[in-house]
């Protein structure tokens, strides 16, 4: 399995991008911005406890719709490790943990990432 890095991230993303309504690079760029939005939302939650769970869910659903299971690898590459517990909690909630797609973290490392109890409580309320 190829490891995603700074040099091949965009190539990997383009290769796995499947958006039937895509009319050009602008659509891909808009979808790639969702990774940045997620980082901001996770950072806001970590900093001051404000969780925009529905907005995060919307971004994740769109990413999985256009990148398929490859979204998992892209997410773990783009999202900083300090937010992985938050990310994992959302992925478990969405039942979007395709273990064969995980390269970083490794499968064993993935199982050691704790779930965020506050996130799970908010998601159960939905």
Residue-level pLDDT at 22? 76
**N-terminal to C-terminal alpha carbon distance within the chain:** 36
Asked if the structure places residue 98 within a domain, the reply is yes
CB neighbourhood size of 106 (10 A): 10
Residue-level pLDDT at 103? 59
Asked if the structure places residue 52 within a domain, the reply is yes
What is the Rg, in whole angstroms, of the alpha carbon atoms belonging to the chain? 14
Over residues 50-73, the pLDDT tens digits come to: 999 999 999 999 999 999 989 999
Tokens of 29: 């760029």
Number of domains composing the chain: 1
Over residues 6-63, the pLDDT tens digits come to: 999 999 999 999 988 877 888 999 999 999 999 999 999 999 999 999 999 999 999 9
Asked if the structure places residue 19 within a domain, the reply is no
Region of 24 (left: φ > 0; alpha: ψ -120 to 50; beta: rest) is left
Over residues 66-104, the pLDDT tens digits come to: 999 899 999 999 999 999 999 999 999 999 976 665 656
Q: Model pTM?
A: 0.90
Owning domain of residue 81: 26-124
Asked if the structure places residue 1 within a domain, the reply is no
């Amino acid at each position: 399995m190829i490891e995603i890095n700074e040099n091949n991230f965009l190539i990997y993303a383009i290769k796995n991008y499947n958006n039937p309504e895509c009319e050009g690079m602008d659509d891909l760029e808009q979808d790639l911005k969702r990774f940045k939005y997620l980082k901001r939302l996770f950072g806001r939650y970590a900093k001051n406890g404000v969780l925009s769970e529905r907005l995060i869910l919307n971004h994740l659903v769109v990413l999985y719709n256009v990148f398929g299971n490859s979204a998992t690898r892209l997410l773990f590459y783009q999202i900083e490790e300090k937010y992985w517990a938050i990310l994992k909690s959302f992925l478990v909630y969405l039942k979007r943990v395709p273990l064969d797609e995980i390269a970083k973290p490794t499968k064993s490392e993935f199982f050691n990432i704790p779930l965020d109890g506050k996130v799970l409580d908010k998601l159960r309320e939905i």
